[in-house]
Structure formats: structure tokens, C-alpha cells
A and B are shown apart, each in its own frame.
Chain A
């Protein structure tokens, strides 16, 4: 048991690393459409998102307690090596989908990681499958559809009402509106997702007896989780921002406002009702709906299909990776070190691959117009179509 102290430190660092990937994976949710319509300049957008994510982390700790108490059964003997394996699976999946520019759900990656690692490390009885279905799977299917329908309806209404107004004034108005809707999403994101990391760290501290059962996260946990997600958000997952803002549909200011409002409404209503849904899926669904409801009525179905496949894969894939990791970490300290080495090497390799075709604040909007699915362009050729950022 003498490696517990070391292991707890490793888990906390890994949890914060996950929080960081969560931040940059999800910058796109709030800001992709604002960047695409030009409502906010890219750097300004990520700065606002980062500040609001940090602020959001301090607003509530309600979800932090449900993550540890809901999906996995703490009493079944969840120990730090299991949590470490869960985080390793979630981080690797997050980085892989980022490399491919696909907006997968960081929450599902985390849930999948926890489930997989718990099944291997503790056994099937460690997972509350009823909670998994009612609180995760059903909302995951329903929420993007609801957001899509709402955004579709709102887009239709917005165009109908403003059809006689001057286009210059209405565009300016909707762009201003987008600043508010995008900010609200960022704030809600910080509140929801930073809490998940707080929940994981708290769960770890509870599992070694450093905190009493059902304890609230200590202030240093809240602050460090908020800081990690804010830093990640500021780094900006530009690949995903490009896919969501330019890859799905050609989005105009009224559509951007409609999709962001739909996403905000769905996220806040569902959170209020206790469903742990994915911000990513809600926002992508909203963008698709707004695309269909717009004057052109177009969505790049190739990209949409790839996103939906990724959503379906996220939970099981993270679970399998985390399960394998849990099997290794269970062997003892050398297992933990091995998984840690694989995690660092894998993350490094994906970062290195991403450098071959970088997407940055400067070129995030430089893509050829929507219907694309064309052959892979030679590396380095710009502007690249959004769906071929995956070439690397």
C-alpha cells in the first residue's frame, strides 16, 4: 500500500490533464459558430470562453457529487489505479478524435473510461447500468435531436420575422446576440465539465480515505479544475472548431444565434432535470438543425454521419482502452508506470502528428465551401477542406 500516496498524486495530475483536453476539445461547442459567422474574432472568442469556463467552475458543485455517486458504485471498492486507468482511456480517445477534427463528447469519454476500468478492476457489480442507460444513453440519443429540432424551428422563425428588415442591421443584431448565447454556453460548460474533474479527484480522495464519504470538493480542487479547463479552452481545439463551424454547414449569423440558443436551452433544461448530457452533441445537433432551417437548407451529411459514428463509438472505445489500462495498472506500481508511459508517448505522438497539418486561429476559417468529401489534398496545401483535416 506504500505506493498509494504516489498513485493519488499521479491520478490528480492525470485528472487535470483530462480536464485540459476536455477544455480544448470543447471550445468549439460554444465558439465554433461565433467564429464561423465572424461574430467574434478567433482569439477573442477563446479568451472569453476560457474566462467563463473558469468562472463557471466556481458556480456549482452539484454535478461533482453525482459523478462519483451515480455511475460507478463507490462502495464496490473503486481504487485510485482504476480511476487512473479510466482517465488514461478518456484522454487518449479525446486526443485521437481531436486529431481527426471530430467533436466527440468528453463526458462520454470519461464515463466510458470509468465504466471500462471499473468492470475490469472491480467487476460488473461496480457499475450501475440502470443509471448509465437512464442518465447517459437516453439523453445522448434524445438531446442532439431535440437541439436540432429547436434550432431548425428557431432558424425558420428568425428568417421569417426579419425578412423585411435591412440585412446589414439584422446581421449585426444577430452577431451581437451570438456573443451572449455563446457566453452562456461557455459558462454552463465550465460549470458542468469542470465539475466532472472535481468529481473524479474527490472520488479518488474519498477512496483512499483522505476525505469523508460524500464530501464536497475542497477549494484547491475546484480552483485547479477550473484553471485546467480554462487553459485547455484558451488553447482552442482549432481542428474541431473548423469542423463544427465550417464543416457541417455554411452558417450565417441568424443560424448561429438560433443554434446557440437551442443548445443553451437544451443544456440548461436537461441539467435542471438531472440528465448528464453531452454539450458537444447538443451543439452539433443545433448546428445541423440551423443548417437545415436556413435559406440554403444544406448540411454536409458526410461530416454529420462521421460525427454520429464517433459519438456512438466514444463510450465503448474509451471503455475498452480504460479496461486494458486497468488490467495493467492492477499488476502494481510497474503497471501504473507502464500505463503512464504509454499515455505520455501516445499523447506526444498525436501532438506530433497534428503538427503536420496545423489548424490555428489564423487559418481556422480558411476552408473551401461546404459539400466536400473530396479526395485528400496534398499535405500543406491550403486552404484545406474541413473534412480532410483528418488526413494526417
Chain B
């Protein structure tokens, strides 16, 4: 019996990598939303608008990356 250990290891490593990457990206997006909220609440102090907008832009990029991962997942399911 021939067991393909390297394919198994690859599968495990890829699964681990994708999970951590997606969750980290999503968490950064959530953090961005949280920062924006804080900035909006603190409106009136030094340059709140810029901080808030930057945080929102960052969050948008993160969520877009996650959406891309989901879309790739969908193509794998339908393949």
C-alpha cells in the first residue's frame, strides 16, 4: 500500500495557512471598524475624520480579501 504522505502534509499545511490568514484578515477588518467607531465618537479632537476614513478603508480592503477567499471557495465547491 502506497500512502502519499506529502500530499497529506500539503493538504494539512494549506488548510492551516488559509484558516489563519482568513481569520487574521477578518479580525483586522473588524478592528478597523472598531477604530472607526472610536474615531467617530471622538469627533472634534485632532483630525478625527482622517483616522476614521483610514480605518474604514483598511476594513474595506480586509473584507474584500475575505470575500475573494469565499468566492474562491465557491469555485472549489462547484468544480
Contacts and interface: CB of A to CB of B under 8 A. Distances in A.
Interface of A: 56, 59-60, 62, 130, 133-134, 138, 142, 146-147, 149-151, 153-155, 157-158, 161-162, 164-166, 169-170, 173-174, 177, 180, 184, 187-188, 191, 254, 257-258, 261-262, 264-266, 268-273, 275
B46 interface: no
A146 B15 contact: yes
* Interface secondary structure of A, over-half rule: helix
A157 B20 contact: yes
Contacts of A170: 27, 30-31, 34
Contacts of B12: 142, 146
B70 interface: yes
B27 A161 contact: yes
Contacts of A161: 24, 27-28, 31
Nearest to A183: B70
Contacts of B26: 158, 173-174, 177, 257, 261
A184 B70 contact: yes
Contacts of A262: 15, 19
Contacts, number: 130
* B interface, over-half SS: helix
The 9 closest A-B pairs by CB, nearest first: A165-B34, A173-B30, A154-B23, A150-B19, A161-B27, A169-B34, A262-B19, A265-B18, A266-B15
Interface residues of B, number: 37
B77 A157 contact: no
Contacts of B23: 154-155, 157-158, 257-258, 261
Interface of B: 1-4, 7-8, 10-12, 14-16, 18-20, 22-24, 26-31, 33-35, 37-38, 66, 70, 73-74, 76-79
